[in-house]
Structure 1
């Protein structure tokens, strides 16, 4: 079964310096029908103005993945980490028992476009942690590249949840098939461009929930960048 979540159906907020769309309930946007999908709790589609960002604030008991699409984001945290994350990088921060961090667009002229993703951990109270990996365009071209997993397989960032996140770029005849093990489900988010998922046309910001299926096929890409979440 495939259930569509269209871009225009998402919750939205305009903070001036931040334009954001919430796939699931977040902050002032509350929809009891969209509280998450399995352990996938948040996908925020953020556009951050030049020189602006989120000041130091706290999280706990959450696996937080930052996926930059355009521009850059400067990260600082209470664990002593500091980095500028660009489109080739995937960042994972395990908030665990508690961590403070800030995120700013360091460019004085260019907007930053990113996805912030929260995944519920499989247990509470772990030690906070940080990890970052680079994945080139070639790594993702015409395939689903594993970028996050519970065991850091294939050079992916690791997280405290039996979930796997894949990223792919698709144009023209490029396509990929992903098998789902019994009892697993998937969420596909189109970060940009357009693509088909099991024959259904999706555009930027659209998503599809896949349940009770043995596999899914991504094809028909037009400048598409896609994230696939394989979830318990």
Structure 2
């Protein structure tokens, strides 16, 4: 039977149903397949939000740890300076952002130490008491707006002995020979304790010599032209 003739013979209600039923099937299939994806996306977003919250909590935790570490760094700097200026710390206490310190030393060292504290902390109050040849100082510092600790850390690092940094090996020194306690450098003979290029020869070995200039030690290897 021709579909067009069949369709024309249907009632108006049947014709509407014939249009609506396929449309409902399409809508049902779409909802049925799309819903799991929506749920999956919601779960993914929930997981991401949890990770973001976890990360923020970790950052807050690190900030709290840094707040605790900062006073410890400052106190460590205080102790380092005390050793440097030969100061005896009698008492040290922390209350919120304030550090109270009492120390004793010779007058010159006491003042030098006080000046050093002022460079890394804000001094609120201080009292100086003379006791014979010694001076006792009470200081209260504020570390809430603490000055740069990097300065004192750099000072500490500069005072740490580094043998690898101070010793320098030169491969191209013009040394022709070493005989007993004599060495030929740049066509001239030198012996132990002589000065070569503003450096003192402090050691002559079989294959190298050691020079010292101020606090710098230099090792010069000997080679020939062959």
Structure 2 length as normaliser, TM-score? 0.25
Structure number with higher helix proportion: 2
